[in-house]
């Protein structure tokens, strides 16, 4: 067990390189099962979600080796269609492997996946989509069992634009017979990135980024070297950190277009934002003004993965804000922890009513999930006095070298064994 010890109050200055997107890398790793070729993924983030996915691939018989931050995968020796229950419980994204495994082995077995406790995230949409492709599915004793004689392309209408279901169906359909059409597909940029990767290894996918994705099945897929997009959520987290602490930070990334909803809100707050080529810089030199309302929505709306961070910012802005969470029903678990630091927040149903206070006070707080944990780190950096953030294993799931990056900007943050 480890914790962060943070001495707050320092402004942040300098530059930071943003990692490849966690939510792009994980489905690409799942896609590696589909090919007998060798795949090299560049600039892979050093996070536990990636580590757990690599462990799963290894247990399936794949060979996966890191060379610095690059990951080389050879799936030619994959010989297993069952995902170990312990790893599935640790990693929500293990569910992406259902489509890949069924495509390769015509069989798949997985324990119901885990991940952050942020509310119900049923896999029904994934399973319904796979059934439309000809997969027989049974559920027993906490396991999902899938099998089919062959996968057949079909039209699939999603009840809601689920990112995971869209990606899982894409992975199952790339080697199916015929054409698959996903309607009401999610539009996140990470889905476009998955399309780019699949097409690079020989798939025929089009429409990602729109509400309709079309996949024409192919017989075989080869190898490739691929650089995923930058992590817009990590970038957004560092932007909010600078807004809260004050200072000026420049991000090396190429995801400004994918962060337009956050950048719009930060400008409303009073931040100065400059975008040039693949750089985003933010300057914050005074106490900011609250944004009146924020509602999380599917992309291109405000991302649920930045809701906790923007709420922490609103806590120390001048005025009042209402933040509504429309995607996950228990994503305000971090609120009692912010209250320990002096925040004035009332949660009613899916909305948090925030009244700005002058500053946070140092306290001992507990991270209950990935993004809520990140918000507590930001609050601690902006607080007066010393804070401890416990259970930081949640934060390690999505932020690589987090304390080193924040420390390079002037944050006084240390990782300490408990």
* Tens-place pLDDT, residues 194-221: 999 999 999 999 999 999 999 999 999 9
CATH 3.65.10.10 range(s) for the chain read: 2-18+230-417, 22-223
Q: What is the percent of the chain with per-residue pLDDT over 70, rounded to a whole number?
A: 97
Instruction: Work out the average pLDDT over 357-373.
Output: 97
pLDDT value for 165: 94
CA distance 415 to 330: 28
Rounded to whole angstroms, how far apart are CA atoms 178 and 274?
47
Mean pLDDT across the stretch 116-126? Answer: 59
Cα 5 to Cα 238, 241, 362, 412: the distances in Å are 18, 16, 10, 8
Question: Do residues 270 and 299 lie in contact, with contact meaning Cβ atoms separated by under 8 Å?
Answer: no
pLDDT tens per residue across span 327-359: 987 789 999 999 999 999 999 999 999 999 999
Does the pLDDT value for residue 166 go beyond 90? yes
User: The sheet that has 204-206: what strands, in order across it?
Assistant: 155-157, 179-183, 212-216, 204-206
Under 8 Å CB-to-CB from 72, ≥6 apart: which residues? Answer: 38, 39, 40, 64, 65, 66
116 is catalytic: yes
Question: Helices in 142-188 by DSSP H: which ranges?
Answer: 163-173
Which listed CATH number (3.65.10.10, 3.30.70.1530, 3.30.465.10, 3.30.365.10) goes with 2-18+230-417? 3.65.10.10
| Distance (Å, whole) CA 405 – CA 237 | 12
- Burial status of residue 92 (CB atoms within 10 A of its CB: 0-12, 13-18, 19 or more): buried
- In this model, does residue 120 exceed pLDDT 70? no
- CB atoms under 10 Å from CB of 61, counted, come to 14
Averaged pLDDT for residues 75-88: 87
Which of the four pLDDT bands, split at 50, 70 and 90, describes residue 140?
Answer: confident
Q: What is the mean pLDDT of residues 160-171?
A: 95
Confidence grade of residue 136 (pLDDT, cut at 50, 70, 90):
very high
* Range from 123-132, 137-146, 158-167, 245-254 carrying the lowest mean pLDDT: 137-146
Residue 119 has pLDDT above 70, yes or no: no
The Cα 275–Cα 326 span in angstroms is 29
Distances (CA, A) of 111 to 117, 123, 138, 207: 16, 12, 12, 31
Mean residue pLDDT of the chain comes to 94
**pLDDT at residue 403, as a whole number:** 98
Indicate which residue of 62, 116, 253, 271 is catalytic: 116
Average pLDDT over residues 307-320: 98
Per CATH, the number for 22-223 is: 3.65.10.10
């Amino acid at each position: 067990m480890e914790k962060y010890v943070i001495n707050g109050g320092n402004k942040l200055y300098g530059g930071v390189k943003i990692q490849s997107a966690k939510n792009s890398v994980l489905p690409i790793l799942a896609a590696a099962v589909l090919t007998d070729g060798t795949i090299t993924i560049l600039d892979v983030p050093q996070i536990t979600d990636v580590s757990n996915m690599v462990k799963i691939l290894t247990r399936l018989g794949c060979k996966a080796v890191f060379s610095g931050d690059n990951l080389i995968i050879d799936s030619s020796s994959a010989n297993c269609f069952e995902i170990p229950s312990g790893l599935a419980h640790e990693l929500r994204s293990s569910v992406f492997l259902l489509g890949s495994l069924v495509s390769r082995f015509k069989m798949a077995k997985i324990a119901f996946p885990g991940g952050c406790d942020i509310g119900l995230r049923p896999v029904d949409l994934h399973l319904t989509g796979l059934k439309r492709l000809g997969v027989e599915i049974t559920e027993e004793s906490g396991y999902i069992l899938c099998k089919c004689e062959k996968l057949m392309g079909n039209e699939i209408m999603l009840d809601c634009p689920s990112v995971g279901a869209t990606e899982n169906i894409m992975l199952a359909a790339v080697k199916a017979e015929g054409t698959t059409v996903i309607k009401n597909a999610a539009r996140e940029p990470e889905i476009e990135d998955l399309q780019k990767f699949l097409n690079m290894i020989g798939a025929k996918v089009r429409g990602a980024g729109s509400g309709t994705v079309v996949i024409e099945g192919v017989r075989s897929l080869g190898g490739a070297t691929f650089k995923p997009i930058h992590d817009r959520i990590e970038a957004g987290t560092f932007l909010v950190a600078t807004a809260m602490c004050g200072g000026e930070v420049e991000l090396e990334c190429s995801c400004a277009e994918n962060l337009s909803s956050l950048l719009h809100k930060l400008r409303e707050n009073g931040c100065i934002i400059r975008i040039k080529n693949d750089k985003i810089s933010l300057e914050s030199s005074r106490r900011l003004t609250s944004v009146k309302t924020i509602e999380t929505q599917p992309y291109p709306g405000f991302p649920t993965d930045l809701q906790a961070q923007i709420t922490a910012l609103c806590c120390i802005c001048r005025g009042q804000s209402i933040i509504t969470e429309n995607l996950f029903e228990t994503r305000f678990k971090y609120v009692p922890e912010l209250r320990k630091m002096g925040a004035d927040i009332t949660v009613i149903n899916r909305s948090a009513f925030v009244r700005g206070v002058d500053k946070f006070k140092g306290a001992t707080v507990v991270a209950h999930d990935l993004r809520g944990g990140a918000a507590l780190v930001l609050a601690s950096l902006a607080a007066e006095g010393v804070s401890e953030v416990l259970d930081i294993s949640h934060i390690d799931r999505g932020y690589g070298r987090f304390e080193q990056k924040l420390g390079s900007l002037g944050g006084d943050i240390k990782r300490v064994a408990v």
